[in-house]
Amino acid sequence: MTQKLVNLSGTPSRLLFTAAELGIVEFVTLLIRSYPDLIWKVDDQSRSIFHVAVAHRQKKIFNLIYEIGALKDLIAAYKDENNVNMLHLAARLAPINRLKTDSGAALQLRRELYWFKKKIVQPLYAEMKDSEGRTPHILFTEEHKGLVREGEKWMKDTASSCMLVATLIATVMFAAAFTVPGGNNNDTGRPIAISERSFLVFAISDALALFSSATSILMFLSILTSRYAEEDFLDSLPNRLIIGLATLFISIATMMISFCATLFIVLDKSVPWVSVPMAVVACIPVTLFAFLQFPLLVDMVSHTYGSSIVFRPRNHLLY
C-alpha cells in the first residue's frame, strides 16, 4: 500500500477517488473517517467512490457501501448526464489490468457476470436506458461478445482434451473387469484369486475408475453440447467442469490403484520384490496430473464457491 500512496497528492476529494480507483481501502477509510462528508462526493463524471469501485472492479472498496446503512440506496442511485447508472458501469468490460487477475476467459467472464448480476441497485434501474438507448443488459452483451467467444473456446478445448483421457480410462477399466488377474477357475468360472485381499482392492478400484470416468465423460459431453449463453458461465458450466475434473482425477488415481493391485496378485508369490517399486512408479501419472490439472480445479472451485462472500464486509472499517 505504501508504494501506491507515494504518488498520491491533491485535495482530500481527489485523493479519495484516486485511492478508490486503485483499491487502497485502508486509505479510503482513513479519509472518510477524517472527512465524513466525502462519502457524498462525486467526481467530474458524477460518480461516487462506489461507482468508481464498480467501474474498476475494486471489491474491497465496494464492500464499504454495506456499512453506511440506508444511505446505500441513495448513493447507489446516482447517475451521470448520460443517464448511466451503477448497473451500466458493471455492464461495461472491466479494465484490462483488472480483467487479467483471473486466468482463462471463462473465469474472467464469470467474474464479470457476478459483478453484473449483483443486486446493487433497485430493480427499476435494470431497465433504465442510457443516452444511446441501451439498457444495462444490452450494454453487457455488446461489451462482452468477444469474451463470450473466448470463454466458449476455452471451455470446449478443455472439455475435449479431458474427455479423451476419460474415454481411454473407461475403455481400459471396462476391459479389465472381464480379464481379471490370476485367471479363472475352469470348473466354476470364478476368479482364482478372489479370496485374496489384493483382489478385493482390484475389484473396488476398477469399479470406481469405470464409474468415475463414465461420469467425467458425461460432464465433459454436456459442456461440449451446451448452448453457451452468458448466464451459463456463471454456475452451470463451471459446476460441470469442476465435477468433470474431479471425477477424472479420481478415475486416474483408482486406475493406478487397480494396476498396483494386479501386480501384487500376479507377482507377489513369484517375484515379490517387483511389486513395491512398480507401485511407486505407478504414482507418477497421478502426481503429474495433480501438478498439471489440480491447480485448475482449485481455481475453478475457489471462483465458483468462494465468490459468494466477495461482496460482504468482513470488518467495520468506516465506523
pLDDT, residue 68, reads 82
pLDDT by residue, tens only, the chain of 319 residues: 545 554 555 688 888 899 999 989 989 988 988 888 888 888 888 899 999 999 999 988 998 888 887 788 888 888 888 899 999 999 999 998 888 888 788 889 998 998 998 777 778 888 899 889 999 999 999 999 999 999 999 999 999 999 999 999 999 898 887 777 666 666 665 666 666 777 888 889 999 999 999 999 999 999 999 999 988 998 899 999 999 999 998 998 898 888 888 877 777 666 666 666 776 776 777 677 767 777 777 777 877 776 544 566 555 566 5
| The C-alpha cell that represents 176 in the structure block | 479389465
pLDDT at 55: 93
pLDDT score, position 70: 78
Tell me which architecture the domain covering 10-143 has in CATH: Alpha Horseshoe (1.25)
pLDDT confidence of residue 182: 62
pTM summary value = 0.80
In order, the DSSP letters of the chain are -HHHHTT--S-HHHHHHHHHHHT-HHHHHHHHHH-GGGGG---TTS--HHHHHHHTT-HHHHGGGGGSTTHHHHHHT---TT---HHHHHHSPPPHHHHTTSSSHHHHHHHHHHHHHS--S-GGGGG---TTS--HHHHHHHHTHHHHHHHHHHHHHHHHHHHHHHHHHHHHHHHHHTS-TT-B-TTT--BTTTTSHHHHHHHHHHHHHHHHHHHHHHHHHHHHT----GGGGTTHHHHHHHHHHHHHHHHHHHHHHHHHHHHHHHHTTTSHHHHHHHHHHHHHHHHHHHHHHHHHHHHHHHHHHHGGGTTS-SS----
Set of cell numbers at residue 184: 479363472
pLDDT at 248: 92
Residue 146, burial from CB neighbour count under 10 angstroms (0-12, 13-18, 19+): exposed
pLDDT at 150 (0 to 100): 94
Report the pLDDT value the prediction gives residue 308, as an integer from 0 to 100.
47
What's residue 87's pLDDT? 92
User: How far apart are the C-alpha atoms of 228 and 151, rounded to whole Å?
Assistant: 9
